[in-house]
Amino acid sequence: MRRVKAKLGDTVADGVCRLVEVDLLAAQWQPDLRFLVISASDEERSRVEQFRTAGLLNVDWIESDGVQAGDVIVPLVNRDEVAVLHRPSDQHHSLQLTNRCNSYCLMCSQPPTQANDEWMVQETVDVVRHMAHSPTVLGLSGGEPLLLGAKLRDVLECVGDWHPETRVEVLTNGRLLASADLSRLILDDLQTPTTWLVPLYGHADFLHDFVVQAPGAYEQTIEGLLNLQAYRQPVQLRIVLIKPVLEILPELCAFIGRNLPFVKEVSLMGCEPIGFALANRELCEVDLVDWHETLQRSARYLSRYAVPFLFMNVPLCALPTDLQQYAHRSISDWKNVYAPECDTCVVKSDCSGFFAWHERGWKPSKTVQLIKESTI
Ligand code: SF4
């Protein structure tokens, strides 16, 4: 989430707003939404005053170099800032439903909190309603979204109602879907196109449970995956490439191929060096160049069982040449950076690059090696 400095009209209150250019306000205005006109001049502000005098009290103004028309924001009134929760021009779009979680993963990039944050659900619904643009894909993440129970279904239906062309991707540990009742509540006759992104870190309970630091999680996640399959929901398995996982990755991939052949794809993901990953650095910091053979064996297993796979959050030069074609640009725009060496690399436009916090933590491979000839 970006935070940008902004000057706001005196009457701007807390709550979600859509930013709009003054000439487009008439076309976009709806009584149950809130609008901030992007204004740079006294004339534009006086037009906003005229709207308000005419009774359009859901219209106000914002002045900021860091915002764009179509942004959906929350004003942080006392700080002269706004939080940008949705930007149409971004490549990736996601909304966070809660900070709470029932796992405690070794490399969690966003350590969970216990506080009641039900307001985040309403905020998400408000953002969805204020989005003028329907993204192709909208991620819903946490914390753990399934902790919302029936409210998760409400959010999914809200996206389906307001943005019927959008596919939702729910990032969840899947554990609570071990419950047949909750599975029915959330999945039965779900019309919103949804893909479930579920992490799996081992092919035995002690392996997975260690990584997610939650006894019993493996059994629950497998049960949850089977329930997703029972409701014909597409599943992407997510595997973060930290040391305890890389040590068993080929066996895990063979297990997936043999036992979970229904999964749509497997995403092999670079670790974000932030949050708990920094505290567990000895387990999370790896140089992927040292693991090329492991990655190649794992890829061979997935290919043998015809399970599609991809790499996310991994720069191309950290992968063996034959696997570079499977890498995706996956890092959200606002946290994506490149090393100075990347400027002359021929594959930069196809490369994931790095998280902004790689400079403070570590990179997926110690050496950034610009590529002079594309293999993808
Ligand atoms: S040098 Fe930079 S742009 Fe090129 S592959 Fe490596 S990280 Fe990507």
368 close to ligand 1 (CB < 6 Angstrom): yes
Say what the pLDDT of residue 13 is. 87
Q: What is the pLDDT of residue 68?
A: 96
**CB-based contact 306:256 (threshold 8 Å):** no
Burial of 70 (0-12, 13-18, 19+ CB in 10 A): buried
Confidence of residue 36 (pLDDT cuts 50, 70, 90): very high
The C-alpha atoms of residue 93 and residue 27 are separated, in whole angstroms, by 24
What SS3 class is residue 159?
Answer: helix
Q: How far is the CA of 376 from the centre of ligand 1 (A)?
A: 13
Q: Which domains does the chain have, with CATH numbers?
A: 2-86 (no CATH), 94-323 (3.20.20.70)
59-82 mean pLDDT: 93
pLDDT given at position 376: 64
Model pLDDT, residue 11: 87
Closest CA to 20 of 49, 55, 81, 62: 62
**Which of 341, 366, 372, 373 most suits a substitution to test ligand 1, by most atoms within 8 Å of the C-beta?**
341
Ligand 1 neighbour 364 (Cβ under 6 A): no
The backbone torsions φ and ψ at residue 162, rounded to the nearest 5 degrees and listed phi first, read -90, -25
Give, using CA atoms, the residue closest to atom 3 of ligand 1: 348
Write out pLDDT tens, residues 152-185: 999 999 999 999 999 999 999 999 999 999 999 9
- What is the percent of the chain where pLDDT is above 70? 99
Average pLDDT, rounded, for the chain: 94
25 lines ligand 1 (CB under 6 A): no
Q: What per-residue confidence (pLDDT) applies to 365?
A: 81
Question: Does residue 317 line the site of ligand 1, with CB under 6 A?
Answer: yes
Q: Which atom of ligand 1 is nearest to the CA of 318?
A: 6
Structure-model confidence comparison of residues 338 and 333, the more confident one: 338
42 vs 176, which has greater pLDDT?
176
Contact 270, 241 (CB under 8 A): yes
Condensed to tens digits (0 to 9), the pLDDT of residues 98-119 reads 999 999 999 999 999 999 999 9
The pLDDT value recorded for residue 330 is 83
Ligand 1: residue of 371, 374, 376 to mutate (most ligand atoms within 8 A of CB) is: 371
* Closest residue by Cα to residue 24 from 57, 55, 49, 59: 59
Could you tell me if the CB of 338 is within 6 A of ligand 1?
Answer: yes
Tell me how far the alpha carbon of residue 303 lies from the centroid of ligand 1, in angstroms. 26
Q: Say if ligand 1 is within 6 A of residue 319 CB.
A: no
Which of 289, 347, 350 for a ligand 1 pocket mutation test, highest count of atoms within 8 Å of Cβ?
347
User: Distance, CA 6 to ligand 1 centroid (Å)?
Assistant: 34
Our CA angle for 62, 67, 70, nearest 5°, is 90
Contact 72/127 with Cβ under 8 angstroms? yes
Q: Which atom of ligand 1 is nearest to the CA of 352?
A: 8
pLDDT at residue 375, rounded to an integer? 65
Q: What pLDDT is attached to residue 292? A: 97
Ligand 1, residue 345: give the atom nearest the CA: 4
Summary count for the chain: helices (H), strands (E)? 12, 16
Cβ–ligand 1 contact at 289 (below 6 Å): no
pTM here?
0.93
For residues 120-150, one letter each, b for 16 or more C-beta atoms within 10 angstroms of the residue's C-beta and e for the rest, the string is bbebbbbbbbbbbeebeebbbbbbbbbbbee
Strand-pair partners of 140: 95, 170
Would the CB of 154 count as within 6 Å of ligand 1? no
Q: Is 243 helix (H, G, I), strand (E, B) or coil?
A: helix
pLDDT at 1: 79
The reply to whether ligand 1 has any atom less than 6 angstroms from the CB of 171 is no
- Name residue, tokens 């060096």: 273
Give per-residue pLDDT as tens, 270-321.
999 999 999 999 999 999 999 999 999 999 999 999 999 999 999 999 999 9
d(CA 331, CA 339): 14
What local confidence, expressed as pLDDT, does residue 227 receive? Answer: 98
Q: Establish whether residue 353 lines the binding site of ligand 1, counting it when its CB lies within 6 angstroms of any ligand atom.
A: yes
Token pair 């670079």 in the structure block, residue: 270
Residues 334-366 pLDDT 10s: 788 998 889 889 999 999 999 888 777 788 887
Question: 229 CB contacts (<8 Å, ≥6 apart)?
Answer: 235, 262
Average pLDDT over residues 214-238: 98
Q: Smallest Cα–Cα separation from 339: which of 363, 320, 311, 322?
A: 363
Confirm or reject: Cβ of 329 under 6 Å from ligand 1.
no
Which residues lie closer than 8 Å to 366 by C-beta, 6 or more apart?
287, 289
> What integer pLDDT is reported at residue 341 of this predicted model?
86
For atom 1 of ligand 1, the residue with the nearest CA is: 370
Percent of the chain having pLDDT more than 90? 85
Cα 334 to middle of ligand 1, angstroms: 18
Asked if residue 374 has pLDDT above 70, the reply is: no
